[in-house]
Amino acid sequence: MAANDLLRAARQRTASLTSPDMGLSRQELAELVNTWAWNHHEKMLEHSANWVGQLERGKIRWPSKVSREALQAILGVSSDAALGFVNARSVRAAVKLENVDRQQFLRASRNLGALAALGPLLALLEGGEPTPSPTRVGATDIEQIRTAARVFDSWCDTYGGEVVRDAVMGQLRWSAGFLNATCPDRLRPELFSAVGDLAAVAGFIAQGAGAHEQARRVYRFALACAEDANDWPLRAEILSSMAKQAVRSGQPDDGLTLAEQGLVRPDRLTVAGRSMLHADRGRALSKMRRVNETLTAIGTADDHFAHFTPDNEPPFWACYNPARHAQLTGQPLFYLAILGRDPGEATDRLAAAAAGQPHDALSQTICQAKLASLTMATGDPIEGATIGHAALDAAGTLRSHLAAEELRELARHAAEHRHLDEVAHLRHRIAILVCTDSPDGGV
């Protein structure tokens, strides 16, 4: 496969935004393409440095039309050929089946059945074009986008982000195309709200798959949709997700800022929104070791949740219930307990959260792993191992980086007690499940 030296040379001769004496990095070029596509077509792309590398290595010879336009504009050329792009579809179409070694083909396919039809069937999967978005949007289309968001959210809870990430991103790209379609003025806010809702789910799924930069970009797109729709509850939900991601990424100060941005107009939020954002504040503050402020934030979250009524909440907060509230407030109390505060309240909340979400494998795993870590660190390690095994059982169906992070943390807390057989067995199970060297090695 020939490398695309023309594209590489064009990138390297285009000045970097941060170091004018150097050429653009692959990451810079990818981000410029994403920005250009949104600014000129309101089309959300998620290209990365890896994508540029695939172009330059010749693995991708014919990127999408919008991507090619963006690359031409950024790199200052006037044709696809100047960047080494070749549309190989017509070349593939000219390849005849009789040029294939039929005996080799049959031997390789002997277990598949319907051998004579297999070649033509596989050919049907090549060179496919994305399904075009409708040119007109109605209420039914908007409802379908909202339904897709709930379906993907449920799949993520059951199977983890890695399983559905590509599918939800494809659905999001297709749904984002609706924003350029003809839509009655009265429905346009609903359209932006529905696409923003789906983007919020996609961002969480990307985060759960470990694609943190992609998650940040998708969250920003979701936030822009929510603000365009003037949908304050959705805006709060997105900022809450962004705050959680920042804290998980070791940036609690940014997480605190994002949570407080979500609370800028609390009168426009539902009870769940106010409660969740104050819990997010508590989580960020606990990571910053600001104990009294953490307890105040959790108390405020509890005060709001006391007035919670599910019927008054939007669909994306349908899962916000006492168990979910216990999970979000139990996590900052966990961090305070690790710092030396009495672990009783954190234990009670995390136990209630695990018991109250029996059909949510992701939340089950996170809550039980947190509870096991807390018990390992502050209580009986044998009991902690028992809870840890329950977390591993819940994680059996998952492929999620969020769950893997919690299980790795449990393994670290268990290390002090590894001389105990029960704990050693637990750590062995965790090592097998979260092993990153094997494609089948865990959550």
pLDDT for residue 343 is more than 90 = yes
Per-residue pLDDT at 114: 41
Residue 314 or 195, more confident: 195
Average pLDDT value over all residues in the chain: 84
Tens-digit pLDDT profile for residues 213-240 = 999 999 999 999 999 999 999 999 999 9
Secondary structure letter of residue 79 according to DSSP: S
Whole-number percent of the chain with pLDDT over 90: 51
CB of 376 closer than 8 Å to CB of 417: yes
What integer is the mean pLDDT of 381-400? 90
Tens-digit pLDDT profile for residues 148-170 = 999 998 888 878 777 788 899 99
Per-residue pLDDT at 310: 87
pLDDT bin (cut points 50, 70, 90) of residue 101 is: very low
pLDDT for residue 276 is more than 70 = yes
Give the bridge partners for 15, in sequence order.
23
pTM of the shown model: 0.69
Domain boundaries, the chain: 5-91
Per-residue pLDDT at 421: 94
- The helix (H) or strand (E) run that includes residue 225 is helix 212-229
Tokens of 339: 């710092």
Question: What residues contact residue 35 under an 8 Å CB cut-off, 6+ apart?
Answer: none
Question: What residues contact residue 184 under an 8 Å CB cut-off, 6+ apart?
Answer: 138
Tokens of 322: 């006492």
